[in-house]
Structure 1
């Protein structure tokens, strides 16, 4: 690759200090963020020597870079993580799409609640987890809220709710609840979340037998289902450390330009679960591994001990995280680290072929797209309009970068009064690109419209009016409304082979923009329906409307509610009027 004079000049100015570097493409978009002990050596290495295929692809896109000098390697590590979190560079390893794992939180107040949380927001509350499976965590919370009559609401209301009438809440909103009883519940739930389910299982077993003896078979079945659920979520773990310490264990395996990163989460001595990711790697293996660990702890509680495999720079991790990071040499902990690394290798072998195949197909599709338009196509934007007999006229915009959806750039548009599909196309194209011009943001490499010549001409009219440098193409359909060809802005058709990678990519894009536009259209219709019904009932104003929707969540559930259930939210007379209105034929 020929290095531009600008890059050569900037490379000559790199310092012999630690820091972060930021690689950018021709549009100034951030491609990759890295850290270095010596900026001069690390950044220059990208432009000299031989690299693997993936790093070569990254370097081919680099047109500029910036660097930030730091006082220490620790500072460069933290800065790198913050920059990755802020900019989401496409070539950096991102943990779980920057999402944290769910915790189960027990609030600190006397009339406490138990719920899921993805963030640790209060030092006073007690957090259990993390749980790599949201489904399992949610099942546990549901069990707890069924088994113990604790508060379900986030703030104590002025009147009792349905849970009180179902005997699943003691009603601290209207009753003085025994604080000692609540302390007992807290102790029992805490023990339950730490894996001690014997007491509650025995209690449920007794209730099931008693219900059966009283011929209450449906009630007995409910207790039996609870027992089965508890066994399912509290099943014995293979790993059970006697010291009951909280610890996380991390490992990795790298091969063929991809890295598999694995984590085991042990709480109170028991393995709660694990999670792994397989991703392409563009940096040193150990740099990627350390970055993975630090990203994880940006959103999650740091345990008292972290176990890692041989070769991990524990000093920098300990300095950054403030806890003991340990490389075990023998015993159960060494066996556990070996098990994590073995799992990483197994996961890599299982996932690699699928991940590699998908990436290969995506690369092929992007190459075909570039070949058609004789230029690199990195960013593609698509619009889809939706309306109902001219009402609720909306449009959805989706953005794909190198063949992958970039949901941070998705946009909804509520359009003016419907006149025609072409007018809707013109309006949304005008609004989108006038906004980009005003904000001095780069144009996409390609605008795809969902249609043939007429839609393309409508988009071209706005392009020419705004004097934009913008490629436009259309997705041409057959008589069965399936995509059969691309049409360029010269109205020339480019046939698509149905077995080609590009055909599948364009189909995915088309499905995604349609889904996005339709979901917004339905949302507006549902909001309008809610407004039209509730606004016709005397006695329901903004506050009661909000309370009803908060309680019942949807019009369907509100329609299924009885007058008595509705009267828990609004006065009985209003509840009867609402019930009658909801059930009008």
Structure 2
């Protein structure tokens, strides 16, 4: 019969991608697995099944830890790393690498990336084994979009014609002399950095190489490196990989599960949204929403708000506006967070709760105050104070600080735009409403100066006023 504590844990497991860690009565890790849906996969072990592995494994499961992650592909990589760390006895085939796919980087002048079933003593670099070959193939193809190294077994001793892979952007064409050995090696290093989880180190190298190219006036190479750096940053957003210390923290401390337990949440908070307000004297006030999935930033969930309905210094009113705009339509409600965190104290907490109650939304809300890092909840008058070295507190601080950073960044942008566009105050026919429309339409004065007259007329600005605005904008730039 399943123990009550284990049954309660199963009910809180989220329906998201992730890795699950099964332990026996001694607390030893006996199995590590991944899933596109943690909830469905883990619960399947406790349903009637003729699966031999389940019949042997399930009676020994006394505890389960789950690590929700950003995507199924991250789960694949994380599973591999945890199996290597824990060496669970029921992952024996994966530990030995028998019949499971590996990624191989060949030891050649222009290395190739291949998916193989066996590790040979040929000085190649191997990563894995991995449990899902179909997913691994998708992952490798995805990586080659950013780091286009070849996947063929072609001999590279003479120049030949490029193949289809080059034309679709998945290979840089070393066989046809389209890329030099030094530049190609940097692509290979990017792939290796990815599988080793060393984004940050490789990013530093790219910046260093770019600076060196600029110093020797090699601007063509510098531009290529700049583009590579941009691609790496976009890749990090789409496919975040945890650094080793973060992996250890999430794997051993199980931050999200502990957070759910501390706050008595109905389920593990895979998606957390953080909110903050930034304003000086109520001028150009801005709000921010950041999102964390599986404990890491989820950039697609970020949003900035320019405060529209609140004048003066009223943080609570501004926060109410932001929350209302976040959830005011069915479209906006397609992705509901498991937890909302707001920067501040009890006042900010109540402001958010008030709007959620009006909108009939049942979403857990907490606030985190900076002074003593107190966590305020709706169900207790006393704040929760966690130890300063608590991984749970560190996660909440990351969400709070990121919301704060994002709000300040947008607020500064709005103030800068207002200052730069101050020349508009001198133009007859441009009031606050038209100025606001121009600020929303044109991100900077250069784009305004280069605008066509019709673009301004579309904003219902008279033709003669539009001409004057463009003329003045050009004068400001030329100064």
Whichever structure has more strand as a proportion of its residues is 1
TM-score w.r.t. structure 2 length?
Answer: 0.49
Structure with more relative contact order (C-alpha pairs < 8 Å, separation 6 or more)? 2
TM-score w.r.t. structure 1 length?
Answer: 0.41
Larger radius of gyration: 1
